[in-house]
A and B are shown apart, each in its own frame.
Chain A
Amino acid sequence: MDEKSKPTGIVLTEEQKRSRRARSIALALALGALVLLFYIVTLVKGPAVLNRPL
């Protein structure tokens, strides 16, 4: 490999790549669950969604 084609930034190890992928999937699932939760609660509350006890 010549000098030009050498990576210059941080190069992840296989373990770091695996961990990052697992974290990304977990984050996506958590966000998806949050979206689903908001959707279902909106359906459950119906027109009263803006009427919350204070």
Chain B
Amino acid sequence: MSLVSEGAQLSGPVGAQAVSPRLEPSIAGVGDYFALMKPRVMSLVVFTALVGLVVAPVHVHPVIGFAALVCIAAGAGAAGALNMWYEADIDALMTRTAGRPIPLGRIAPGEALGFGMTLAGFAVLVMGVLVSWVAAALLAFTIFFYAVVYTMWLKRSTPQNIVIGGAAGALPPIIGWAAATGSVGAEPVLLFLIVFVWTPPHFWALSLTCADDYARARVPMLPVVAGPAETRRQILLYSILLAPVGAAPWLLGYAGAVYGVTALVAGALMVAFAWRLRRERDGARAMQLAKQLFAFSIFYLFVLFAVLLVESGLLGRAAA
């Protein structure tokens, strides 16, 4: 029995290459749709948006704040679904992504496209009606940037794909801030810059561990195009740049001393991880160091935003 469901004939040209059109009724379960929304990416998006929302100088009613976060989560899920729809062909070729719902044949490309578009529309409209049209416009732009600019254009055309495309992942704090204030200020732009500069070393560390996958799928990630040595050099350069950018909210007076110390220590550790990776060029040890840097980069971003959340948001509010 075919596991591919109805709607397959609606698939785009790329999805159609991965899964041939068949017309059996869907067996996609709720879990498959949940996986389609990239829940791990979504959780990071919601967290960074929450920080943007909380550090904003305007008190937002908890219900409105909750509505904004739901919309941002839905928007991130929609972008993830559209990404998986378009990338079904290369997902099927890569070990890391072969278990996603479309390559597995549990969700047809057309279903994913319909789900992503509907969810995106709902997320933007509800954000506009319930929270703020500025935040809604930013959310729409973020979804567009991730699904169209990054996924459809940059990813397959340049090794700078995740550098430029990283803007999509960096926008949620600005959306959170806009949901609270109805505008955009300097502080959320700093948060944007942190995530933006953090993205290349984070992703390139991951891509070092699965460069063969990317080569097989013909995706021009930096390790495939420029080689592992150049990728390690770029990781180190971006990590060195990230250290002062991470500390910028403190240096510019937007955050307190606890954040400053945390950012400096975490930034130094990030550079140290990148330096070790740069020195170790071959073998299992190099792979292990790439995985360590990848894991630490997630911790880095989490701890910086968590401290900012507690310091600028919760403690600042209590003091006021």
Contacts and interface: CB of A to CB of B under 8 A. Distances in A.
Interface of A: 10, 12-13, 15-16, 19-20, 22-23, 26, 34, 37-38, 40-41, 44-45, 52-54
A54 B182 CA distance: 6
Interface string B4-43: 0000000000000000000011111110010000000000
B67 A23 contact: no
Contacts of A15: 27
Contacts, number: 53
Contacts of B122: 34
Given A13-B1, A53-B134, A53-B182, A37 B25 contact: no
A38 B130 contact: yes
A26 B36 CA distance: 15
Size class of the B contact interface (CB-based, 8 Å) = 20 to 34
Contacts of B25: 10, 12, 16, 20
Given A13-B1, A44-B64, A53-B133, 9 more contacts: A10-B24, A12-B25, A16-B26, A37-B67, A38-B130, A40-B63, A41-B63, A52-B182, A53-B182
Contacts of A16: 24-27
Contacts of A54: 133-134, 182
B29 A37 contact: no
A41 B67 contact: yes
Interface in B183-203: 183
Contacts of A19: 26-29
Contacts of B183: 53
Contacts of A41: 63-64, 67, 130
Interface of B: 1, 24-30, 33, 61, 63-64, 67, 70, 122, 126, 130-134, 181-183
A34 B49 CA distance: 21
B254 to A, nearest CB: 22
B134 A22 contact: no
Given A41-B64, A44-B61, A44-B63, A53 B29 contact: no
B126 A52 contact: no
A50 B203 CA distance: 43
Nearest to A54: B133
